[in-house]
Every structure is written in C-alpha cells, then in structure tokens.
Amino acid sequence: MCEGGFNQSYDMLDINKIREDFPILGDTVYNRPLVYLDNAATTQKPRQVVECISQCYYHRNANVHRGVHYLSQEATEAHEQARESVRSFINARSTSEIVFTRGTTESINLVASSFGETLKEGDEVIVSQMEHHSDIVPWQLLASRRGIRLKVWKFDADGVLHVDDLKALLSDRVRLVAVAQASNTLGTVNPIKEIATVVHGAGALLLVDGAQSVPHFPVDVRDLDCDFLAFSGHKIYGPTGIGVLYGKEQVLERMPPYQGGGEMIDHVTFEKTTFNVLPYKFEAGTPDFIGSAALKAALDYVSALGIENVAAYESQLVDYMIGCLAEIPQIRIFGPRQRIGVASFLVGEIHPYDLGTILDHLGIAVRTGHHCAQPTMDAFKVDGMVRASVAVYNTKEEIDTLIESIMRAMRMFH
C-alpha cells in the first residue's frame, strides 16, 4: 500500500494464530470485515480470558478471605495467585505492594484521596499537560478540598515533555508529580526513570499512569523507581472492572485507608477500629475475585507471547501506520515520531466525527473526539482528533485497509 517493509510474522509471533484466540476479529460490521483499531480505549479478550471467567462463575464462585470451606479457599488462592502474577509482571518487590482496584482511574483516585489526606494548604502537585482526565480531575478535587496548588508541566510543539522544564517547576512545596508513562493521545513515551531521579531529588513522590505502557512494553517498577503505578486490566486483554495500584510498601504504610468496610479492618469496636495489613488496608468490601483471576489469565497470555515480542511487533506496526498516514495529502499527525502504537490525526477540513463515522461504515473502529485529554486538544488548538491504536493482533493488511478507507472518505468530501 505504501513504502516501507514489514515482517508480518515478526519471527517470534504467529499473528494469524493469535487472531484465532479473539473470535470478535472474525466478525463483520456493516457487511465488512471488522478492523478493530481502538485498542487504546480497550482491547479485545482472548478465549482464555473469557473461559476463565466462565469457569470461575460455574465452578469456583465463593467469597474470598472469609470462609473455611473448600470453594472459598480455592477462590482465595486464585485471587492471591493473581496478585502474585501482577507482582511478577511489573517486578514489584512484594505482593503487599499490589492493590486491586476497578481500574487506572480508581487507582489514581485512591492515591489522591489517601495520600492527599497527608497534604496541607500550600503544598503543590505537578501534573503533565498530556494527562488523561483521570490524572487531572482527582488532583483538582483534592485542590478544592485541601487548598493545594496544581502546577502544569507543559509539552513542546511535538508533544514531548522535557525534564528541564520539570526541574523549573519543582520546589520545596512539591509533594507529588503525576505523569503518564505513555500518552493515550500522542503516543509519547516519557523517560520515567530519569523523571523519578529528578522528582526524588526534590523530595517528592512520583505517580505513573501506566494504562498505555504496561500492555505494550516491559515495565519494571523497581528499575523505574516510581512510587506509584496504575493500570487497567481491560487494556491488556483482561476484563473491565479490575485494575491495579502499585505502591512502594513504605509509602503505602504511611497512607490512611481509602474506604471503610469489610476486609480492610483488623478489629472493630464502636470506640475504635484498627486496620488490616497491606495490601488489604486499601481493599474494602468483596473484591472482584473473578476479575482478578481473569486478569491473571490475560497476563499469562501476554507472558506466553513475550512482552518484548509484543513491543517489537507493535513498534513495527505503528511505524508502518505512521509512514502510510504521512503519505496522505493534507494530513496532520500529532505527537512525536517515536511512540507507542497510537496515531492521532486530522485530515484536511474533515471533522473527526465525520471521518470516524465513515470509517465505521467501512468496518473500521477508531476513536474520535478529545480522548479524555481536553488540555492536549487545547494545546494543539483543535476540538478533537481521530485516533487509530494497535494491539498485537492487528495486521499490515488492516493498516492498508485504514489508509484506503481514509482516501475513500477524502474523495467523498471533494
């Protein structure tokens, strides 16, 4: 379709075989083969994950940590095995550092609400300009409650954050810096290890939004030295409603509970309640033990493929996609050349919603709008963008179909 080579199999991965694990990829939309390129929003689920959910509900459905009977103990073991799988996947030091949540958004809200209780008026939190709303609004809510000051670390014209600009924002009042490891809109990958060194040198903590990084390339929290990392199961081939907050044990120990209820307690009287040990102190109520088991199945699936193989294949795929898009007349592609598998763009004067609607009727699923990143849109002075985002099951042929369909849409507007 366009210039540039492409190795469909990428040696270590049989993409056609992988696609067989995702039945939805064989569906049709408006009588056309589905081309699913909205993976930054949510990924499709392999049979292994869906079957795990079914098996758990059919044969292992019992509340965890609460019963002496066999089913409860079996469910508890599966839930804690999932915690260990997460720990291993991101190389945390201990399962005490792995808190199950409903997703990245709840994980960040947990930190804002709990760590936020330790902040006082005049303290400062820095967030980057490219953050998802879920890493902006919780800090704004905290600012209104606690009187803290929110400072913005801006990116350059290419959508790149510079550490020198962060250094200029740091002061002895900064308590935390929140930044995405990879932008959901621009695809920018930020140098978290370098950022952590600078942030810690200023005496602050670092929270990393890993929603777009953990599914796509190796993430080692000990190597990065971040204090918190949040990610969602549904973006890494797992179910919705399950997510993770990683936090350094010594940091989590100092934080008060996020919610009250069962599981997070040690002893309750009307006079005083003492709290459970980590990570249970932050897991009030019945956990999503079905979701955690399915998240383990998803992580096992990715681990069997090899996250390094996934990263290399997707890098090749997005390079091909960006190269092809760049050949389209009047296209504007946002973000740096080196990126994760996300391409946000506009074509001429075509409204992103109109282009997205046409692509949909041609069987192609993309995202249109502000992508829950309105400050990013404001920085580029646009109302919205079209976003195509890849996963390990996407193919060169699907990118070709995307390009052909964009060209067809352009002809319709002339």
From 240, 272, 304, the end of a domain falls on: 304
| CA angle, residues 87, 88, 94, in degrees to nearest 5 | 45
Q: What is the CATH number of the domain that holds 368?
A: 3.90.1150.10
What are the pLDDT tens digits along the chain (414 aa)? 576 556 554 568 999 999 999 999 999 999 999 999 999 999 999 999 999 999 999 999 999 987 789 999 999 999 999 999 999 999 999 999 999 999 999 999 999 999 999 999 999 999 999 999 999 999 999 999 999 999 999 999 999 999 999 999 999 999 999 999 999 999 999 999 999 999 999 999 999 999 999 999 999 999 999 999 999 999 999 999 999 999 999 999 999 999 998 888 788 889 998 888 999 999 999 999 999 999 999 999 999 999 999 999 999 999 999 999 999 999 999 999 889 999 999 999 999 999 999 999 999 999 999 999 999 999 999 999 999 999 999 999 999 999 999 999 999 987
Whether 158 maps to a domain, the answer reads: yes
Residues 21 and 157 in one domain: no
Residues 249 and 341 in one domain: no
Tell me the C-alpha distance between 82 and 76, whole Å.
10
pLDDT of the residue at 311: 98
What total number of domains does the chain contain? 2
Residues 288 and 390 in one domain: no
Residues with active-site annotation: 372
pLDDT of the residue at 67: 78
Whether 6 maps to a domain, the answer reads: no
Q: What residues have CB less than 8 Å from 198, skipping those under 6 apart?
A: 163, 166, 167, 170
pLDDT of the residue at 318: 97
Q: What is the CATH number of the domain that holds 193?
A: 3.40.640.10
* Segments forming the whole domain that contains residue 281: 50-304
Residues 186 and 86 in one domain: yes
Whether 287 maps to a domain, the answer reads: yes
Residues 132 and 251 in one domain: yes
Residues 171 and 87 in one domain: yes
Strands (E), 124-220: 124-128, 149-153, 174-180, 205-209
From 304, 336, 354, the end of a domain falls on: 304
Tell me the C-alpha distance between 111 and 100, whole Å.
13
From 304, 324, 347, the end of a domain falls on: 304
pLDDT of the residue at 5: 56
Whether 10 maps to a domain, the answer reads: no
Residues 300 and 373 in one domain: no
Query: For the stretch 129-167, what's the b/e string if a residue is b when 16 or more beta carbons lie within 10 angstroms of its beta carbon?
Result: bbbbebbbbbbeebbeebebeebebebeeebbbeeeebe
Is the CB of residue 297 less than 8 Å from the CB of residue 54? no
pLDDT of the residue at 11: 67
Residues 294 and 338 in one domain: no
Whether 5 maps to a domain, the answer reads: no
Whether 284 maps to a domain, the answer reads: yes
Residues 258 and 312 in one domain: no
Residues 293 and 389 in one domain: no
Residues 336 and 196 in one domain: no
Residues 292 and 356 in one domain: no
Whether 3 maps to a domain, the answer reads: no
Whether 8 maps to a domain, the answer reads: no
